[in-house]
């Protein structure tokens, strides 16, 4: 009798505990038991599970909104070497041909090529020589296409100032501002020297002359120039008209895309030129400059009024 009363009292206690848990915020834990199909026999009488009771795996990438398409703006070509590479923020600092630096952004919308073949952002390394199709996107210079050129390709291009030219050896010493040491390039009877699109003589390659060189390697390992183009001689004046791609007043640098030849130029600014009103990316400008043997130096900057539509 006492055993029967003890058992009945225990059952009443347990039932009261369950009811108490249900009345105080439903704190009684409930475990879902999931049986594998092999362990649970199929039955037509089995009640279907509610839709919200089925676990659904969500791909975290699907929660990230798609990037907007790249604006169909006219791209400007910029060449240089990668100085710093920030893979976290998808940005890199490029040492530009002709001197100066530019911060360029990239993301999954950017197309990558290495020696003409499809590549990816992981192929970029500090010190690589690259050519970039850039546009202005939200106040940032954005890389629409990045072309990586390895040093062992069949040819190359360089731009820099002449250190010396030895006619007795047909040897051109060129200071490419992206290279730690001057480049030594040979000229031969097949090398074309041009100035403003007209044939010229190698005797015009005086120290300080800004040139662009297309060259190719020979079997003995030397580089032979196929074409040498004279871009500027020290003291020459130049007028540029185009769109500002980037401006850094702290460094005194203006980068513009010429509306004449659609090339990108870097121009140094003095304090007077840097104080011009409305000098910002996207502005249409006219710049009178002088080449001092290593860079273009702005003498006058004019921000042109917008063209009426």
Q: What is the pLDDT of residue 245?
A: 81
Is 219 in the same domain as 248? no
Q: How many domains does the chain have?
A: 3
Is 68 a member of any domain? no
Rounded Cα gap, residues 265 and 263, in angstroms: 7
Residues of the chain with pLDDT under 50: 1-43, 53-54, 60-65, 152-154
Q: What is the pLDDT of residue 288?
A: 93
Decide which of 192, 210, 232 is a domain's last residue: 232
CATH of the domain at 107: 2.40.50.320
Rounded Cα gap, residues 60 and 130, in angstroms: 34
Decide which of 207, 232, 257 is a domain's last residue: 232
Q: Tell me the C-alpha to C-alpha distance, in Å, between residue 200 and each of 171, 186, 191, 203, 230.
A: 17, 17, 11, 8, 9
What tens digit of pLDDT does each residue of 212-249 get?
888 776 655 567 888 999 988 888 898 999 998 888 77
Q: What is the pLDDT of residue 260?
A: 85
Of the candidates 223, 225, 236, 155, which has an alpha carbon nearest to the alpha carbon of residue 196?
236
Is 107 a member of any domain? yes
Q: What is the pLDDT of residue 22?
A: 45
Decide which of 93, 126, 149 is a domain's last residue: 149
Domain that holds residue 89: 76-149
Is 162 in the same domain as 135? no
């Amino acid at each position: 009798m006492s055993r029967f009363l003890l058992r009945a009292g225990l059952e009443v206690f347990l039932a009261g505990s369950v009811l108490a848990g249900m009345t105080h915020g439903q704190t009684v834990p409930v475990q879902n038991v999931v049986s594998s199909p092999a362990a649970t026999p199929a039955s037509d009488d089995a009640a279907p599970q509610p839709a919200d009771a089925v676990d659904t795996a969500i791909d975290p990438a699907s929660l990230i909104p798609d990037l907007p398409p790249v604006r169909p703006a006219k791209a400007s070509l910029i060449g240089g070497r990668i100085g710093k590479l920030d893979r976290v923020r998808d940005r890199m600092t490029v040492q530009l041909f002709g001197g100066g630096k530019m911060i360029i952004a990239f993301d999954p919308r950017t197309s990558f090529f290495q020696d003409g073949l499809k590549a990816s952002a992981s192929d970029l390394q500090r010190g690589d020589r690259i050519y970039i199709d850039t546009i202005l996107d939200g106040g940032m210079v954005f890389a629409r296409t990045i072309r990586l050129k390895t040093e062992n390709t069949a040819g190359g291009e360089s731009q820099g100032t002449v250190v010396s030219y030895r006619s007795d050896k047909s040897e051109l010493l060129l200071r490419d501002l992206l290279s730690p040491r001057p480049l030594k390039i040979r000229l031969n009877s097949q090398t074309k020297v041009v100035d403003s699109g007209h044939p010229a003589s190698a005797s015009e390659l005086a120290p300080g002359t800004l040139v662009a060189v297309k060259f190719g390697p020979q079997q003995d390992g030397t580089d032979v120039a196929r074409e040498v183009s004279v871009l500027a001689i020290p003291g020459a004046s130049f007028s540029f008209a185009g769109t500002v791609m980037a401006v850094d007043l702290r460094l005194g640098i203006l980068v513009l895309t010429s509306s004449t030849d659609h090339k990108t130029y870097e121009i140094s600014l003095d304090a007077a030129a840097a104080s011009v009103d409305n000098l910002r990316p996207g502005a249409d400008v006219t710049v009178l400059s002088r080449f001092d043997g290593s860079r273009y130096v702005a003498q006058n900057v004019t921000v042109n009024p917008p063209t009426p539509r």
